[in-house]
Amino acid sequence: MRKQVLEEIAQAMVADGQGILAADESTGTIKKRFDSINVTSTEDSRRDYREMLFRTTQAMQENISGVILYDETIRQKAADGTPLTEIMTAAGALPGIKVDAGAKDLAGHAGEMVTEGLDGLRERLSEYHALGARFAKWRAVLNITDTAPSAACLSANTHALARYAALCQEAEIVPIVEPEVIMDGSHSVERCYEVTSTALTVLYEQLAIQNVHLEGTILKPNMIVSGTQNPVQANVQQVAEMTLDCFHKCVPQAVPGIVFLSGGQSDELATAHLDAMNKIGNLPWKLSFSYGRALQAAPLKAWGGKAENVPAAQAAFAHRAKMNRLAALGQWDASLEG
């Protein structure tokens, strides 16, 4: 019965043309976002901003299957007293929750990170389920250099992801597993392919060891892209072809869906890459989006912390959500951006 529940949630998360809004920025991260628009980050301002997104009802209903929340947000109520989880549920989006405690320095391996947060996770997942969460997210951070990530870094991070995933499924929460190969650096697109392939191979070995039911999981990976400091940047078609080639070799067909992180790409480029992959088609899994900044940058700028700007900000969010819906269906075109 538990497996059936997990599979039903996972399928709902990757319903045709639907993607996930990542609104799980930590208090520190959202402060940086607010600083960029000269808005003071307070509990109320953070709530007002996220409530504004969740109340973009038509855009949520048509394009967003779920929302990843931060611990503060899943407990918050809107200005009128309605729990934020109720607002998004009414719009047809499943509440999700970020449960990792962040990436910390990996002892003995300079420049590498390991994600922490397994202690007490079983109890936290039980509480989050009671608060309405039906899926969760855990992010591993894998930096690329000529020698990194090391075997130790890959082992530590994929083992933690697998332990987390097993605990989620025990609590009837679908785990999003996110092994993010960071695009910062001067590495080539070929090096990104190599590292991502290795990371995914080790990840699925660890998930198997922990008896994780793959049909009740979602993968949130990076795309195969050139390092940001590399003067030679792979074009959209190359990114799409190399990413799909990597996943066909490394991601089991039992996985119901892959929702990409934008990883610092521009809004439109993240959309173009997703669209190009879906235009290639013939895929055993659904390919969609789980974007944070690539969905939020435009509405954040339009909002500027002012109530009178809410309609313009909601329109900006609705546009980006629609563009990514079309990309998830392989129906996007640059001319639609306006």
Closest CA to 267 of 288, 243, 234, 293: 293
Q: Which CATH superfamily is domain 2-337 in?
A: Aldolase class I (3.20.20.70)
CB atoms within 10 A of CB 205: 13
Look at residue 33 in the predicted model and tell me its pLDDT. Answer: 97
- Given a cut of 50, the residues of the chain with pLDDT beneath it are none
**Quick check: pTM over 0.95?**
yes
86 within 8 A of 131, measured Cβ to Cβ: no
Closest CA to 287 of 298, 297, 276, 301: 276
Dump the DSSP string for 257-278. EEEE--TT--HHHHHHHHHHHH
Residue 319 Cα distances to 209, 256, 273, 294, 337, angstroms: 42, 27, 17, 12, 8
Which sign, positive or negative, has the C-alpha torsion 152, 153, 155, 160?
positive
Convert the pLDDT of each residue in 138-165 to its tens digit. 999 999 999 999 999 999 999 999 999 9
Closest CA to 91 of 104, 78, 100, 106: 78
- Distance in angstroms (rounded) separating the CA atoms of residues 116 and 156: 10
Convert the pLDDT of each residue in 94-123 to its tens digit. 999 999 999 999 999 999 999 999 999 999
Look at residue 338 in the predicted model and tell me its pLDDT. Answer: 80
Type of residue found at 315: A
Place of tokens 């075997």: 151
Buried b (16+ CB within 10 A) or exposed e, 66-82: bbbbbbebbebebeeee
Place of tokens 């039906």: 134
Strand, helix or coil for residue 18: coil
Catalytic residue numbers? 178, 220
Q: What residues contact 15, with CB distance under 8 A and at least 6 apart?
A: 65
69 within 8 A of 97, measured Cβ to Cβ: yes
